[in-house]
Amino acid sequence: MGPPASLNRCLAIAMLRTLDINQKAVARITRCADQTVVEVERWLAQEDYETVARLCDSESIKKMISFEGLYWGLEPENLSKLDRLTGDMILRHYKKSDYLKIEKAEEELQGKALVMLCLETPSVDPYSESGQDMPYAFYATIPVVAVGGVARGGWATGKVVEKGKTFPLHWAGTPPTEEEFTAPKVDIHPDMPARLDVAFAPPSPSGQRPERTLTSGRVVHWPSTERTAAMPEKGGAWMAQPLALSLSPPDPSLDAYLQPGLWHVELRVDCDNGEGTIANLELTSPVACAELSIRVAGNR
């Protein structure tokens, strides 16, 4: 059965309903009949995973936010949620979580007092400290989900295969410290994925600012606008090691610095009271910060 509305309208309805906006309001915002919203939601719930995943891929969501989201007239609270919306959140809303291994993990955990950590889809986005006018950087991030309870003392490391070096990684919302070998731990709640920063790429002095940046929370301190002026033209990225994040500007002489090119990272995420996970990542360090990219090469 085909979609009951255009794919753009189906995506808009899926995004708004995932934000817990009621069906009548969604119909008004998307300029369609109430019954259309009902039929689209029924289609999303019944359709196979691959179809819904293609509909709500990260690029489609970003385009929808850029071209339509600003005109939806959402309250500030929902606008903030819209900035953080991911395709995985939509898939979970419509019970399409097999891909994330969450349902399988929940079955395995029945009758056990064990927490399991699962990785969602990585992405790259521009973040600023507290709004559009602040200095920014592009971050390669992965949301981490806890299944079976609260994961206490969550931590993560990334081993850069080509360097043979392992770096502690930073959780969004924790202040960077001048630590080379450790990072603050976090508690990860089942209903609130924790965003793990894997790498970041600040702009060069001549770099063009993106039209829209996301507010980071407290991803990294930006002491002054001199940071941008001090960045080298040669580009590159840094592993999201607390030490690298704490410096202004980040230091290319650090081991965490990655010259432009393809790098392989062995990611390990774990916690004090459960079972962690390992993933092999391919990370492209860019010449221009907007070209930073990350993908999962395989999970174990």
Q: What is the pLDDT of residue 232?
A: 55
Q: What is the pLDDT of residue 106?
A: 56
Q: Is residue 72 part of a domain?
A: yes
Tell me, yes or no, whether 86 and 122 share the same domain: no
Last residue of a domain, one of 93, 128, 155: 93
Q: Which residue has the higher pLDDT, 273 or 179?
A: 273
Nearest to 120 by CA among 261, 285, 288, 277: 277
Higher pLDDT, 234 or 156: 156
The answer on 231 and 139 residing in a single domain is: yes
Tell whether 115 and 89 lie within a shared domain: no
Q: Are residues 37 and 134 in the same domain?
A: no
Q: Using one digit for the tens of pLDDT, what is the confidence trace for 144-191?
A: 999 988 999 999 999 999 999 999 999 987 877 777 788 889 999 888
Residues 27 and 80 in one domain: yes
Using CA atoms, how far apart are residues 140 and 158, in angstroms rounded to an integer? 13
Q: How far apart are CA 3 and CA 15, in angstroms?
A: 16
According to DSSP, the β-strands at 170-171 and 257-258 are unpaired
Last residue of one domain, picked from the residues 40, 60, 93: 93
- Residue 203 domain-assigned? yes
Q: Is residue 205 part of a domain?
A: yes
Q: Could you list the residue range(s) of the whole structural domain that residue 239 is in?
A: 111-299
Does residue 265 lie in a domain region?
yes
Residue 213 reports pLDDT greater than 70: no
Residues 251 and 174 in one domain: yes
pLDDT recorded at residue 26: 92
Of the ranges 63-67, 78-82, 99-103, 269-273, which is most confident? 269-273
Q: Which of 64, 93, 122 is the last residue of a domain?
A: 93
The Cα 158–Cα 199 span in angstroms is 10
Question: Is 166 a domain residue?
Answer: yes
- Are 87 and 230 part of one and the same domain? no
The total number of structural domains in the chain stands at 2
Same domain, 88 and 131: no
Q: Do residues 172 and 64 share a domain?
A: no
Closest CA to 269 of 187, 196, 216: 196
In which band, very low, low, confident or very high, does the pLDDT at 192 lie, cut at 50, 70 and 90? Answer: confident
Reading the block at residue 80, the tokens are: 């903030």
Same domain, 25 and 163: no
Same domain, 145 and 260: yes
pLDDT at 135 over 80: no
**H helix and E strand count, the chain:** 10, 15
The most confident of 54-58, 97-101, 111-115, 254-258, by mean pLDDT? 254-258
Domain membership flag for residue 98: no
Q: Is residue 233 part of a domain?
A: yes
**Residue 51 resides in a domain:** yes
Based on the fold, state whether residues 131 and 88 are members of the same structural domain.
no
